[in-house]
């Protein structure tokens, strides 16, 4: 997400922080670079102008040139202006209306509308315990209604039974009535898309809006289309009126132009972002966290949240108990590796930790990747219970047997043992006063570096 923009900005700021003192010329030069980086990221010209102007103003006001750490000061200001531009605070979907709360999804074909409808329904069911009914109003594409029904079954959310020959407005009315009579909390309308905006599409949306009286109208737009997505949101807002935007395919978006321009150009908030094809690849849009990601500061908060959702709390407690007692055996390591895989593997975790973007490349160069995690788990599962509890008994013949059994090499087993020893030592240290090392150092030693 936003890798290319992030890389450029980090490069610019690296140059700044390395200097002891900054002159006005330094700041001006780096602002020119920031401007170029934003334009290359396909951020709208108007937004870039305002952005750079705001940074310059604040930089002058903050007396950057005389500040003790001027480089950091500039980064802080850029960070603040980024957050401003992205919309300041998170703006989640509102359910603040009499049930059934109607949510209407609009957008072009292929933007991810149907997928996002199901993702949102799943999230409302899981997190808000809402009873959700979904209805597809797409009567143009023959398989559209069936596609939503399939996704509905997959995520365990009801869809309105399909009745052939009805118009979108008729389906909308039927859905609203069914939701009301059957006590649903939320009813979601997945509307038809087109390959481009045209008058009949807009007219149909306006008509559905009148019939469905939605509390939220969410435009689903593909982040990869950059400024087109922004213009699309503008048109939809002017013609139909939208309450928010869901930006999909953020996972493939290195540039971030749409995300950065959307709020300023349309005046509407990005409420959610789609981060993959899976049904749980949907995240709240937190301007602060996104700004941190763009500036290469990682996103610890999101990582922690994801961890809280995926990690088995009981298992984690058990491991924590053992750690306290200084007993961290290979079974525990294997469990931890499994949790890492669940969190999206090494790559997924690293991308969210501050300063880890570069570290990821270094790790990959050293042969540390998700394949390694799998092999390490295979090695551990080839050991006997006794060996897992007491790795000290592993001498040559046992090692050869384990390597053969797991299809790996003895060197790899040795590396794993060393890593385990270091982790166990670190656990002890973390309990005591020795826990003064930075996150990077701790992380590095966990991977045997
Ligand atoms: P619709 O025509 O707007 O309803 O689009 P669909 O919901 O059918 O989605 C089109 C394709 O985009 C599907 O293959 C989805 O899996 C994919 N897709 C949707 N959202 C995302 C996302 O956030 N990331 C990625 N990588 N793919 C997505």
Q: Report CA(109)–ligand 1 centroid distance (Å).
A: 10
* pLDDT at res. 338: 82
The answer, yes or no, to whether any atom of ligand 1 lies below 6 A from the CB of 193, is yes
348 is in an annotated binding site: no
Cβ atoms 281, 29 nearer than 8 A: no
192 is in an annotated binding site: yes
The answer, yes or no, to whether any atom of ligand 1 lies below 6 A from the CB of 77, is no
| Domain spanning 303-446: CATH superfamily | Signal recognition particle, SRP54 subunit, M-domain (1.10.260.30)
The answer, yes or no, to whether any atom of ligand 1 lies below 6 A from the CB of 298, is no
- Within 392-438, where are the H helices? 396-406, 410-431
Task: Give per-residue burial for 63-75: e unless 16+ CB within 10 Å, then b.
Answer: ebbebeebbebbb
Site to probe by mutation for ligand 1, drawn from 254, 277, 280, 283 as the one with most ligand atoms within 8 Å of Cβ, is 277
ipTM score of the complex?
Answer: 0.98
Q: What is the pTM of this model?
A: 0.71
Site to probe by mutation for ligand 1, drawn from 115, 121, 137, 189 as the one with most ligand atoms within 8 Å of Cβ, is 115
Q: Report CA(277)–ligand 1 centroid distance (Å).
A: 6
| Domain spanning 3-86: CATH superfamily | SRP54, nucleotide-binding domain (1.20.120.140)
**How many Cα atoms sit within 13 Å of 353 on the Cβ side?**
19
Query: If you write DSSP's letter for every residue of 249-313 in order, what string do you get?
Result: -GGG-SS-HHHHHHHHHHS--EEEEE-SSSTT-EEE--HHHHHHHHTT---HHHHHHHHHHHS-H
> What six digits make up the tokens of 135?
């209805």
Under CATH, what is the fold of the domain 101-295? Rossmann fold (3.40.50)
191 is in an annotated binding site: yes
* pLDDT at res. 339: 77
The answer, yes or no, to whether any atom of ligand 1 lies below 6 A from the CB of 191, is no
* pLDDT at res. 159: 97
Q: What is the pLDDT along the chain (449 residues), one digit of tens a residue?
A: 888 888 888 788 777 766 666 677 777 888 899 899 999 888 999 999 999 999 888 877 665 444 445 666 777 788 889 899 999 888 999 999 999 999 999 999 999 999 999 999 999 999 999 999 999 999 988 799 999 999 999 999 999 999 989 999 999 999 999 999 999 999 999 998 877 778 888 899 999 999 999 999 999 999 999 999 999 999 999 999 999 999 999 988 888 899 999 999 999 999 999 999 999 999 999 998 888 878 765 555 566 556 666 666 677 677 767 766 767 788 888 887 887 777 777 666 666 655 555 556 666 666 667 788 888 999 999 999 999 999 989 999 999 999 999 999 999 999 999 888 877 777 666 554 333 334 433 443 444 33
* pLDDT at res. 367: 63
User: What are the extents of the domains in the chain?
Assistant: 3-86, 101-295, 303-446
CA-to-CA dists, residue 250 to 218, 256, 257, angstroms: 17, 8, 11
């Amino acid at each position: 997400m936003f890798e290319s923009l992030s890389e450029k900005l980090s490069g610019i700021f690296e140059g700044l922080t390395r200097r002891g003192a900054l002159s006005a010329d330094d700041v001006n030069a780096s602002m020119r670079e920031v401007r170029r980086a934003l334009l290359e990221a396909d951020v709208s010209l108007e937004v870039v102008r305002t952005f750079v102007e705001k940074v310059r103003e604040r930089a002058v006001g903050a007396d950057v040139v005389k500040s003790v750490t001027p480089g950091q000061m500039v980064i802080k200001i850029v960070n603040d202006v980024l957050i401003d531009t992205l919309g300041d605070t998170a703006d989640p979907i509102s359910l603040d209306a009499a049930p059934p709360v109607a949510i209407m999804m609009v957008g072009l074909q292929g933007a991810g509308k149907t997928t996002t409808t199901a993702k949102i329904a799943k999230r409302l069911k899981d997190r808000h315990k809402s009873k959700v009914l979904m209805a597809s109003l797409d009567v143009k594409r023959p398989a559209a209604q069936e596609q939503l029904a399939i996704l509905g079954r997959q995520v365990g959310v009801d869809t309105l039974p399909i009745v052939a020959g009805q118009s979108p407005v008729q389906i909308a009315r039927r859905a609203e009535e069914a939701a009301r009579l059957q006590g649903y909390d939320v009813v979601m309308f997945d509307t038809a898309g087109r390959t481009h905006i045209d008058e009949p599409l807009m007219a149909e949306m306006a008509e559905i809006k009148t019939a469905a009286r939605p509390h939220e109208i969410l435009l689903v737009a593909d982040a990869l289309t950059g400024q087109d997505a922004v213009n699309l949101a503008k048109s939809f807002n002017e013609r139909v009126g939208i309450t928010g935007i869901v930006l999909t395919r953020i996972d493939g978006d290195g540039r971030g132009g749409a995300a950065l321009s959307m709020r300023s150009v349309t005046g509407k908030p990005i409420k959610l972002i789609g981060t993959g094809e899976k049904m749980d690849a949907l995240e709240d849009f937190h301007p602060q966290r996104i700004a941190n990601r763009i500036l290469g500061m990682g996103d610890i908060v999101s990582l922690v949240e994801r961890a809280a959702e995926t990690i088995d709390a009981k298992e984690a407690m058990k491991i924590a108990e053992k750690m306290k007692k200084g007993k961290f055996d290979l079974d525990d390591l294997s469990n931890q590796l499994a949790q890492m895989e669940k969190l999206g593997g090494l790559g997924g975790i690293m991308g969210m930790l501050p300063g880890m973007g570069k570290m990821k490349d270094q790790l990959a160069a050293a042969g540390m990747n998700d394949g390694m995690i799998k092999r390490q788990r295979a090695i551990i599962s080839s050991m006997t219970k006794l060996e897992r509890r007491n790795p000290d008994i592993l001498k040559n013949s046992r090692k050869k047997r384990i390597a053969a059994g797991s299809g790996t090499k003895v060197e790899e087993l040795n590396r794993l043992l060393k890593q385990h020893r270091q982790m166990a030592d670190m656990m002890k240290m973390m309990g005591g006063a020795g826990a003064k090392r930075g996150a990077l150092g701790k992380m590095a030693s966990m991977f045997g570096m």
